[in-house]
Amino acid sequence: MIVGIPGNELVIRVYLQENHPSTPTRFIVCLAMIDLASCCLSVPFFLTVLRYSINFLNSFKQSARYFTF
């Protein structure tokens, strides 16, 4: 998360500055956006499961593992 968020933001900013983006450029930007969303969602889920693993329902644990991995 420490490297993922700034790194993906940098990739998105650099590749969006092109005047006429090509298909590979758009693909790289989409991958960076998906990875950025994954970084922002999976780490809080994972930390929550680690901290409060006994108090949550089994379905929450399974969904948190799905988003994490």
Averaged in consecutive runs of 10 residues, what is the pLDDT profile of the chain (69 residues)? 88 90 92 92 76 65 65
| Domain assignment of residue 46, given as a range | 4-68
CB atoms within 10 A of CB 54: 4
CB 36 within 8 A of CB 9: yes
Q: What is the tally of structural domains in the chain? A: 1
CA atoms within 13 A on the CB side of 16: 11
Q: How much is the pLDDT for 56?
A: 57
The pTM of this model reads: 0.67
User: If DSSP states are collapsed to H, E and C, what string results for the chain?
Assistant: CCCHHHHHHHHHHHHHCCCCCCHHHHHHHHHHHHHHHHHHHHHHHHHHHHHCCCCCCHHHHHHHHHHHC
Q: How much is the pLDDT for 45?
A: 74
Q: How much is the pLDDT for 52?
A: 72
Q: How much is the pLDDT for 48?
A: 76
